[in-house]
Amino acid sequence: MTTMTDTALAEFKMPDVGEGLTEAEILKWYVAPGDTVTDGQVVCEVETAKAAVELPIPFNGVVGELRFPEGTTVDVGQVIITVDVSGGAAPAAPAAAAAPAEPVAAPAQEPAPAEEPAPEGRQPVLVGYGVAASSTKRRARKSVPEQAEQPPAGTYYAASVQAELNGTSTSALASAPVPSPAGERPLAKPPVRKLAKDLGVDLTAVTPSGPDGIITREDVHAAVAAAAPAPAAPAPVAAPQPAATQAPAPVQAAAVSSDARETRIPVKGVRKATAQAMIGSAFTAPHVTEFVTVDVTRTMKLVEELKQDKAFVGLRVNPLLLISKALLVAIRRNPDINAAWDEANQEIVQKHYVNLGIAAATPRGLLVPNIKDAHAKTLPELAESLGELVATARDGKTSPAAMQGGTVTITNVGVFGVDTGTPILNPGESAILAVGAIKLQPWVHKGKVKPRQVTTLALSFDHRLVDGELGSKVLADVAAILEQPKRLITWA
């Protein structure tokens, strides 16, 4: 995650904050060049396809440069920040003023396609000449050595510091980059290429502003805005130009013109991961959904009684708590439903534990963190875990680990006033229970029509490993417990 150079410059690389993730977006920097940092201090917040995570720095020193601005998607393993750990008084960023001489001269020694001049010339040399601009393994831009003299540090932030030292306005830096030479493939991330394709933008005509001459989303939108009065490219949408906003995290957004009829939102982060997971689940696991409408009046009364119980002081008691407990009891009575399908080995993997997932709608999109070993928790412990799970999700602090390893899930669509639905399985799980709105409805109770609290439950399950009988038993057990909550005791 970190490397050290001979000049005591430490490099902090984008770590894999989840299992198998390949990139993360920098949401916010908490430090700037010249700031002093200490071991364990959080320096930035990043968003992966699974969660927003704060990254702590693992050493002490002075921030040299921030390699990428906020809103940039960075590959795992790329250096995102450098720190001078030599203990000297001079910050690393101002030292960049004297650095251009070495990296500018170095490319002239090699007739091959030149490497881009390295920031501050502080990185180790692997091939005997010059220095690498970063740890990315991207081919060099042939025109970069001529342009690199303007921002010697090679990054937006370092260039800004250099401009201040030279008395140049940072706005002048924006005009420094030039479009890629004709015939050369411009540097851009795949999502940016996709965005350009959707908007009908020729990347070879776009002026890059990202580090190392990389074209960013903002560059694409700027090119579209500049060409909006007379769009010549075969754009997939008609004028007026649709604006782009960033989702789910409000890091930055392009302005929407007053006559815009469409808004294009880049699909990334949680939204992208959710879309891919749902497609994979819907077209891999054969879904079956069953429904049951049940009188939950007694359960609602029990909820009110538990709120007054001393064992639940300070805890949030709501219908979801008892519904969760009812599902756990139903799984105990029908353990075969708590399983997963192993396609590679053609095996059914039965789980002897329940990691109960709770679907949570957050500003960043749908998250499904789970309560580890929920089957072993008492009702007060389950209430405490549910409260922590929901609060963490709403604050956007859910960790990737909290969303891994789920076995079954509950999604409460009733909070939106919806009666029921046909939920799609969380990938790798065998069942998901949807809980509809609890409403006062006419119901036949003891031979008479009376107003009762009624809800509809929907259970979707993977028909490869859960047949209709097993799925029906589980759903019927949950309904029976909610109708007569004393079964939480007799059946447990």
- Which tokens go with 347? 């095996």
- Amino acid identity of 356? L
Q: What is the three-class DSSP state of 366?
A: strand
DSSP 411-444: EEGGGGT-----PPPPTT-SEEEEE---EEEEEE
Q: What is the DSSP letter of 102?
A: H
Q: Cα separations (Å) of 423 from 18, 394, 430?
A: 26, 21, 12
Q: How far is CA 46 from the centre of its chain?
A: 8
CB 124 within 8 A of CB 6: yes
The C-alpha atoms of residue 244 and residue 253 are separated, in whole angstroms, by 6
Q: Cα separations (Å) of 221 from 72, 75, 159?
A: 14, 22, 22
List the end-to-end C-alpha distance of the chain, in Å, as a whole number.
48
- Angle ∠(113,122,219) on CA atoms, nearest 5: 60
Q: What is the three-class DSSP state of 144?
A: helix
Q: Cα separations (Å) of 282 from 252, 405, 434?
A: 32, 19, 16
- Is the bond preceding 240 in cis, omega lying within 30 degrees of 0? yes
Active site residues: 463
The crossing angle, in degrees rounded to 10, of helices 297-307 and 468-483 is 60
- Which tokens go with 189? 């991330």
- Which tokens go with 279? 């497609």
The C-alpha atoms of residue 212 and residue 177 are separated, in whole angstroms, by 10
Q: Is 489 exposed, middle or buried (0-12, 13-18, 19+ CB in 10 A)?
A: exposed
Q: What is the three-class DSSP state of 309?
A: coil
Between strands 263-264 and 243-244, the pairing is parallel
The C-alpha atoms of residue 139 and residue 214 are separated, in whole angstroms, by 12
- Which tokens go with 294? 């049940």
Q: What is the three-class DSSP state of 31?
A: coil
Closest listed residue to residue 247, CA positions, set 403, 20, 47, 18: 47
CB 402 within 8 A of CB 370: yes
